[in-house]
Amino acid sequence: MEESMRECMRKLALWHTRTFKPIMTHDELEPIMATLGFLGLPPSASPGGSLAWKEYAHSSSSSSASSGGGGRARPRLPYPRIDGLHSYTYQAFVDGVSSYLEMCDISVLFHIRGMPLHRLDLYKKWRRMQEDESVFVYREGTLDQATYNLYHLHRRGGGGSNSGDGDYINVKMYYGSGDGNGSLVIRDKGNSAPVSCLVPLKDIIL
């Protein structure tokens, strides 16, 4: 039973939309970020945690400040691997990039998409994305409390979709409202027009 459940589990990853390839490490992400005006900073451990995080400073802000211009937080992700993270962690990163680039649709650069677990992934500690029947899991320790509080509060308050995660084929992270509350939009494969309604994750998992 446990083995069959593992075969059903999926992880999320940050994908480069233009090349349609998943970005698994900062070595792959940093050259892309450089073309957008971001400089990768040395990894540092988060306060009270053993996990290292890598931040990206934009050329429009001071590299010595702990946050960007105008109080904007720098985009950051766990180091060195950036696959298998919680949807909130990805959302915070994409929101951070979008706040500097001021793009109405950041999904032309990045989107979040699910993928099967690799055999070596089974030796890591995983947690379910939600306390329900979700098949999406994330690596333990890669979701900090501040990020969870921010995005979970928005979701519970009705500021976005109830899905919270993504379908491993047809879901892209889409930011079109400009209000900073991103939603996961279900798109019909092969059709560029987004479906008009948002559906819960449980309704798209067969």
Eight-state DSSP code of residue 73: P
Which letter, b or e, does each residue of 169-205 get, where b requires 16 or more Cβ atoms within 10 Å of its Cβ? ebbbbbbeeeeebbbbbbbeeeeeeeeeeebebeebe
Closest C-alpha to 112, from 2, 17, 8: 17
Confidence at 191, pLDDT banded by 50, 70, 90: very low
Confidence at 69, pLDDT banded by 50, 70, 90: low
pTM recorded for the entire structure: 0.71
- Quick one: average pLDDT of 1-12? 66
- Whether omega for the bond prior to residue 80 falls within 30 degrees of 0, making it cis, is yes
- Which of 76 and 64 is assigned the larger pLDDT? 76
pLDDT exceeds 70 at position 70: no
pLDDT, position 24:
96
pLDDT exceeds 70 at position 118: yes
- Quick one: average pLDDT of 101-114? 90
Q: pLDDT tens-digit profile of 23-66?
A: 999 999 999 999 999 999 999 987 666 789 999 999 987 544 45
Rounded-to-integer distance, Cα 42 and Cα 73, Å:
16
The single-letter code of the amino acid at 5 is M
CB atoms within 10 A of CB 129: 23
pLDDT, position 68:
58
- Quick one: average pLDDT of 75-90? 94
pLDDT, position 135:
78
Confidence at 121, pLDDT banded by 50, 70, 90: confident
Confidence at 151, pLDDT banded by 50, 70, 90: confident
- Which of 4 and 45 is assigned the larger pLDDT? 45
- Which of 43 and 168 is assigned the larger pLDDT? 43
pLDDT, position 31:
97
Instruction: Please state, rounded to an integer, the average pLDDT across all residues of the chain.
Output: 73
Percent residues over pLDDT 90 in the chain: 38
Burial of 106 (C-beta count, 10 Å sphere; 0-12/13-18/19+): buried
